Structure 1
Amino acid sequence: MPADLAVIGLGHLGLPLAQAATAAGIDTIGYDPDPHTVAELRAGRLPPECADGCLTAAEVRRMLAAGFRPTTADAELGKVRTAVICAPARLGEDRALDLGPIGAAARALAVRLRPHTTVLLESPVYPGATEEFLRPLLESGSGLRAGHDFHLAYSPSRVDPGNKRHAYAGIPKVIGGLTPACTEAAAAFYGRVCEKVVRARGLREAEAVRVLETNYRYVNIALVNEMAVFCHDIGVDLWDVVRCAETKPFGFQAFRPGPGVGGPGVPIDPNYLSYKGRSLGYPLRMVEVAQEVSGRMPRYVTQRCATLLNEHGKSARGARVLLLGVSYKADVSDQQGAPAREIASRLMELGAQLSYHDPHVAQWRVMGRPVPRADSVYEAAAAADLTVLLQHHRTYDLQGLAVKAQLLLDTRGAIPAGAGHRL
């Protein structure tokens, strides 16, 4: 059955788009090569890898009732007017961006691509990737020319998992096409889904929007992380400093420190993301320094844990330490890049006996070993020598935890002042 739209990749990028398009009355299929993902969605459930707060199972069931069709059949891709590639792209250990899933999605689409189709990319990429990496795959696999036989454009995803205040349709959508006609084709599609469309000059400008937005957040988080260490050393309450500073009506945006930075919104440095060996030959220094600063935070948190235990007459070796919240952000299950894992590893190396609690994570392994999960967070906090709040999930009663815990370290500045120790 023909459809207006194919969303390729049904993870944290693709599912919100599919939901918004379905709600807008657009006949939508969702393509994913993973049979398990598709089977779970067809059954009205979220597969574990998608349960990161972007959708609920009830929302998936409403999408299905409205006509959304998840599939593994790439033949369906040849029946749509618009295809949006939302495949994941993550940094490897060498800091290079893995475009493999995007390439696989492109090859699946290319053999089915028809003339006059609009192809859009939302995955995180470096400037130039849509034209230099995606375009050749689509053209060689289809025999069609981008900008002539089909439209090609990029739009940076602005999905924020767990954020219920900003729905997909209400977030301005930036688009940039290979040609002006490609830009207008993309605008025509997104205008059906989003309240506002912002046209960039071209592909690379739209791709660079993603770089700027992600790096802006990353650099500013690193700044407050560095300020957190500095303020602790001089006896200043950083959270009170931020509270006061954010009353300035211009020139300041509040960011808050934490135990590290994680999640799919990785910092992007073009020096590491070169294509076919091309590189600027120099890094973005602000990003490099920010990475260094935030990369030190798990070690700093571990040091604070050991110091607090020592000040209360206990050694880290043999101490019972409870970690609260091990996902990369509040109210989601995604643990990608979460600092909790490194903090746990370092505490284990010091000889601490770890347990954890997270309402969104049923099982957790560190250094290849399972970490015991506390059944009752309050009983576990009362029994632990030290409780460390790593992620402030909304289900946590912090006042109750502060009363129950023998010793509490809050890395998020969420507990009432004086109820425990802050980062």
Structure 2
Amino acid sequence: MADGVEDERAGAERRVAERRVAELREQLFVHRSRAIDAAALGELRAAEEKLNEAQRATPSGGGGLILDTSARKDRPVEMMGPSTTGLDVEVRLRMTHVPSATAHLLDASTPLVSFRLKNLVDTARRLRLVSYVEGYSAEAVDCVEIEPTQEATVGQMPTFFPKALREIQEATRASLRVRVDDLDGKVEVERAYPIWLAARTTAYLSVRDPYTGEDVDMTRYLAAWVTPNADEVMKLLRKAAERAPSSFIGYQQDGAKVEEQVRACFEVCKQAGVTYVNSVLAFGAGPEARAQRVRLPRESIANTSANCIDGTVLLASLLEAASLTPAIVVVPGHAFLGWRKRRGADEWDYVETTMIKDHSFEDAVAAARAVANEYEERRALTKRGSSFRRHALDELRQGGVIPME
């Protein structure tokens, strides 16, 4: 009873802290009713630290159980338990919500399911582990050999079919199927379990691993929305080049020429009428995931509207098309654009894309620099990588995060 009261209190404190952080972020990054200065960023820092403490005090983890053949008293025994199969099998769901837009880019390092198997007999067992999402993926298959009394743990992420995922316009329920086969051909255990597939317009910033209770960072996959070869992006780039025809030469000259190219891209988006809108709601995300609706650059150009991530991937698309190296910079509750100042150098500058319509390029750069400095310093002090993430597009492309169109 006491534990339940403590859990309820911890949850209430977390919700209060979440509301305060959301209020401050809106003042600074959405409505811009306060200047981004040391005092305001310091107040936000204190509120976010309080939220971090509240989140650490909230119990989590230990969930996601799909299948367990152990005969423990606190859970039902599977129809085919260890006395029948000679195996102790535990299968856990590691991701309750699958990001449909980028699922085809994921692999076993970000598992959808994990198998834990223990051999209870005095001979080695050779097993085939299978998982798939019915109608949406191929089978993920691993074969393992387990010596007597030994254990093995395997994570799997099935390969999703891009064509099937493109049809998902709203959050969709799907069936995950898992199976453990003896290589002699006998099915040892099998189970189906419901999961969510997110709409393609939804970008997952993180998903909660129900087993560990930890948030899995998904922000690097925002690079899939950076589409430098889209016709609409190339048309806008040509207009930007007309503003500074002698400057659009990539990294062939000094950093000042690089900044001129970024400025021209910023100004051409202003000329196109791109306006900041705070449209971040994503239906079907649930409490286990942090998600945001993200428009492709061609959609932002056509609709002349963009939230912070929309504007960031739009400008990143223009810079990548101009043979520069942009970066998607993510801090708690916000995103903005970075760019590499010289080829191959770890030197970066930043611009705030939510300020395209109503502010000068110089003001947008100053605001982004202030936020970047604050959160980089915070990452150094706290050792928390989530405080400041700078995803360089050239590195992400090498890692297989390719444009979705």
Q: Could you say which structure has the larger radius of gyration?
A: 2
TM-score in same-fold range (> 0.5):
no
Structure having the larger proportion of residues in strand: 2
For normalisation by structure 2, the TM-score amounts to 0.29
> Which gives a bigger RCO, structure 1 or 2 (Cα 8 Å, sep 6+)?
2
Output the TM-score relative to the length of structure 1.
0.28
